[in-house]
């Protein structure tokens, strides 16, 4: 058995990513990482799973995607595994939803993965993020202003469904494995386009940082690992605190928007770090983005605002301090109106 196959097999067993005989959807782009992942999962008998290779054509590189799809289909056929593909118009999706092309591509890709998983009754979806991708992700999130949770990077298993068996494996090891096993792959030309922030991080920022720390990628991965451990502890503490502080009643039949009420006295007794996470959780449950500025405003109002003080957030979300409570609500539903929305 190849050393990389032994390493990935040990990781899958240690992290309980897959069970023997389990069906798993594998996202395969035709690039080196995903071709290695497909071969590792399908070709290593000791893993004993049933992969389904899935290729998604985002409609962005028509000169390349035909060859990529053909390569993935050919590899799947040679290994006797199922193959699924779909073509989607990501640019139109991005325009309609007013989101970035990267965001739209990710959403449609995972949506199709879910469809295939349902079709084949697969409980897991495997994607080929590597240790190098983890280092890039941590830097990307740092630049965008993520908090502790974001800086902990990608998880090896997310939501009990998305698994990343190569997350601890370097690109160097993967390329060596492909060469040793004579596995063909193609290169996505968009990975060299600097219009994408992630590419600039990989092509420009990381090489620059290596001048100060030749092992910067490993350092970033180690930091993410430490933060993931601490994040799990903080999440447990937050969940316990939430039970004693927050109330979020089930929606009534004639109600269309959720509401969260925090016990002010109990909230103020919490450590500021937990207060911040309680506020973040409130935003998330109410379908709003928990930005740093919003959280700081909430913490200040809770500690110093007078009864009746209010904060206005986007899409009609409002916070009101009422004697012994902080109340998050949508007085007139999710709307784009500004100002006081209460009667």
What CATH number should be reported for the domain whose range is 248-329? Answer: 3.30.465.60
In which residue ranges of the chain is CATH 3.40.50.620 found? Answer: 3-225
**Is the predicted pLDDT of residue 149 greater than 90, yes or no?**
no
| 173 has a pLDDT exceeding 70 | yes
Buried b / exposed e over 100-109, threshold 16 CB at 10 Å, is ebeebbebbb
CA distance linking residue 319 with residue 334, whole number of Å = 14
Average pLDDT of the chain is 91
Q: Is the pLDDT of residue 254 over 60?
A: no
Q: What is the pLDDT of residue 274?
A: 96
Structure tokens at 132: 């190098």
Q: Give the pLDDT band (50/70/90) at residue 256.
A: low
What tens digit of pLDDT does each residue of 113-134 get?
Answer: 999 999 999 999 999 999 999 9
Enter the tokens of residue 174: 């993967």
Does 323 or 15 have the greater pLDDT score? 15
Q: How far apart are CA 207 and CA 200, in angstroms?
A: 10
* Structure confidence by residue, pLDDT tens digits, 30-52: 999 999 999 999 988 888 899 99
Of the options 3.40.50.620, 3.20.10.10, 3.40.50.1970, 1.10.10.60, the CATH number for the domain spanning 3-225:
3.40.50.620
Report the pLDDT value the prediction gives residue 339, as an integer from 0 to 100. Answer: 52
Q: Pinpoint the residues of the chain covered by CATH 3.30.465.60.
A: 248-329
| Interval 99-117: pLDDT, tens | 888 889 999 999 999 999 9
């Amino acid at each position: 058995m190849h050393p990389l196959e032994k390493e990935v097999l040990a990781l899958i067993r240690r992290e309980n990513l897959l069970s023997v005989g389990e069906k798993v959807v594998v996202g395969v782009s035709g690039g080196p990482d995903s071709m290695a992942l497909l071969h590792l999962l399908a070709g290593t008998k000791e893993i004993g799973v049933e992969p389904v290779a899935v290729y998604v054509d985002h409609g962005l590189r028509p000169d390349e995607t035909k060859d990529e799809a053909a390569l993935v289909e050919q590899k799947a056929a040679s290994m006797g595994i199922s193959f699924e593909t779909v073509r989607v118009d990501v640019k139109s999706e991005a325009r309609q939803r007013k989101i970035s092309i990267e965001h739209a591509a990710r959403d449609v890709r995972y949506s199709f993965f879910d469809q295939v998983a349902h079709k084949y009754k697969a409980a897991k979806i495997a994607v080929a993020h590597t240790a190098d991708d983890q280092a890039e992700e941590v830097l990307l999130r740092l630049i965008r202003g993520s908090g502790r949770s974001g800086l902990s990077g990608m998880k090896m298993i997310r939501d009990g469904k998305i698994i990343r068996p190569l997350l601890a494996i370097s690109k160097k090891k993967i390329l060596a494995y492909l060469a040793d096993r004579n596995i063909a792959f193609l290169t996505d030309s968009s990975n060299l386009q600097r219009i994408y922030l992630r590419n600039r991080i990989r092509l420009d920022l990381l090489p620059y940082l290596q001048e100060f720390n030749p092992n910067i990628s490993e350092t970033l991965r180690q930091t993410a690992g430490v933060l993931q451990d601490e994040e799990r502890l903080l999440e447990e503490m937050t969940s316990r605190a939430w039970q004693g502080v927050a109330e979020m009643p089930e929606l009534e039949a004639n109600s269309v928007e959720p509401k969260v009420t925090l016990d002010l006295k109990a909230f103020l007794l919490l450590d500021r770090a937990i207060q911040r996470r309680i506020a973040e959780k409130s935003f998330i449950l109410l379908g709003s983005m928990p930005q740093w500025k919003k959280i700081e405003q909430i913490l200040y109002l809770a500690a110093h605002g007078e009864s009746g003080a209010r904060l206005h957030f986007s899409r009609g979300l409002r916070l009101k301090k009422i004697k012994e409570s902080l109340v998050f609500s949508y007085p007139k539903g999710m709307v784009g109106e500004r100002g006081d929305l209460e009667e």
